[in-house]
Amino acid sequence: MDIRELITIDNEILGGQTVFKGTRVPVESLFDHLEAGISLDAFLEDFPTVTKEQAIALLDWANKLFNTKNLDQLYAAVA
């Protein structure tokens, strides 16, 4: 899934926080839940507007980003 189909940034939605596309759920919430030991299924119960497909695709995207062997690409992506 293309990252542009997963997330959006709009100054009119939560002051420009990165959110799951079509929702008002900050992407940060997914990582906060996982960091706290809360399961993906529990996250999805807390935020029913986010689909499991969206959440898994975003985690896959993040995994690819941080497992790249090209540091220049990583630095460019997070700059």
Task: Chunk the chain into consecutive blocks of 10 residues (it has 79) and report each block's average pLDDT, rounded to whole numbers.
Answer: 85 93 96 97 97 94 78 64
pLDDT tens by residue, 22-37 = 999 999 999 999 999 9
Which SS3 state, helix, strand or coil, does residue 65 take? helix
User: Which residues constitute the domain of residue 23?
Assistant: 3-78
Domain count across the chain? 1
Give the per-residue pLDDT at 52: 96
Residue 50: CATH number of its domain:
1.10.10.10
The Cα 79–Cα 70 span in angstroms is 14
For 59, counting Cβ atoms within 10 Å of its Cβ (0-12 exposed, 13-18 middle, 19+ buried), the class is middle
Give the per-residue pLDDT at 5: 87
The Cα 39–Cα 58 span in angstroms is 15
